[in-house]
Amino acid sequence: MEDASPAKWHLAHTTWFFETMILIEALPGYRRFDDRFPYLFNSYYEALGKRQPRGRRGMITRPTLDEVLAYRAHVDAALGRLLDEDISAKVADLLALGCAHEQQHQELLLTDILHLFAQNPLAPAFRPSEPLALTDAPPAQGWIGFDGGLTEFGHDGAGFAFDCEEPRHKRYLAPFEMATRPVTNGEWIAFIEAGGYDTVGLWLTDGWARAQAEGWDAPLYWHRRDAEWWTMTLRGPQPVDPAAPVVHISYFEADAYASFAGARLPTEFEWEFAARDMKAEGNMIDTGRLRPAPAKGAGLQQLYGDVWEWTASAFAPYPGFRVAEGAVGEYNGKFMNGQYVLRGGSCATPPGHMRATYRNFFQPEKRWQFSGLRLARDV
């Protein structure tokens, strides 16, 4: 699958990022570990030259894992020498970006392993399987109202943020309501049984065409075992938990479900408005669960962790956005077309990586990420 990369490639690519973006210029006398590696481990930086085609990364059987680990040790040692010296503000910013970039790849590593294992007839598990805990039905979906108004959005300048989270700017929000929790697997099964995948009037044109062409009739990794829905997880095949948030759906599926439910997807600004006073805590990778968990309690729940939540907002520049100079300017800016924003993190997101202003983004047909949805509606 062209969107997924081998585990070894993720390790080498994040190493390459520190070497190329920082060490080559910032550390006098630094020499590349291997002059062949930039071609192999550059991801999409056109300014840095030719590279292995993305869809053929899986064909790279060499260098070996031991060689990649030696590459990592070489770059780590050089970074250590650099940090023994006084570094410029520019280098400090690039180091922060490199760490955040590596956190992104920690999550991508898991989503790509899951996709790979899901293609294997042996259905291997990344972590040992565990019995699916019997849970009560999730709390009924409620609605929380927000007055909206003229409000500032985007990163406020305190701490790290990606360039696409800036500059901070004002927008007006009409009053709206947001669902108290994400849509669950049980609710998605009801959508399936009501003919949601067969009702053209619920779907955007491109979504309907994609669903028909690829035979979508359930979320990615779902399959029937006798009369029960099962899904592939990082703990191997498990029964679908009706109380947990639905995951591995595209923007097109999320939008169709919202139409089915008589609601809509929130905009990314409505989502940020609702989340701004909440701690960025939840079921992320540090819990070790590695799959979404059922909601508990009352009020606005699971905004962070469990599943990335599709929004109705296209990934576009904020007013006043400027692409940074040099290759690092390709990090986000050139992807600001044809993609939609997701918010909130997932069960595979590293803790400390998430904040209310964080903007994830993917093309609307993508399903292999831990993506789900939360409903919104006008007041």
Q: Which amino acid is at 210?
A: R
Q: At 76, which helix (H) or strand (E)?
A: helix 65-83
DSSP 35: T
How would you class 318 by CB atoms within 10 Å of its CB: exposed for 0-12, middle for 13-18, buried for 19 or more?
Answer: middle
Tell me which residues of the chain have a pLDDT lower than 50.
Answer: none
Q: What is the pLDDT of residue 131?
A: 79
Tens of pLDDT, residue by residue over 341-364, are 999 999 999 999 999 999 999 999
Bridge partners of 232, per DSSP, are 237
Handedness of CA 7, 12, 14, 17 (dihedral sign): negative
Q: What is the pLDDT of residue 137?
A: 82
Q: How far apart are CA 148 and CA 261, in angstroms?
A: 23
Q: How far apart are CA 306 and CA 349, in angstroms?
A: 9
- Tally the C-alpha atoms within 13 A of residue 145's C-alpha that lie toward its C-beta: 4
Domain boundaries, the chain: 7-118, 143-378
Kindly report the CATH number that applies to the domain delimited by 143-378: 3.90.1580.10
114: left (phi over 0), alpha (psi -120 to 50) or beta: alpha
Secondary structure (3-state) at 362 = strand
Q: What is the pLDDT of residue 134?
A: 66
Q: Which of 152, 18, 107 is nearest to 352 (CA)?
A: 107
Q: What is the pLDDT of residue 297?
A: 86
Q: Do 274 and 343 touch, CB atoms closer than 8 A?
A: no
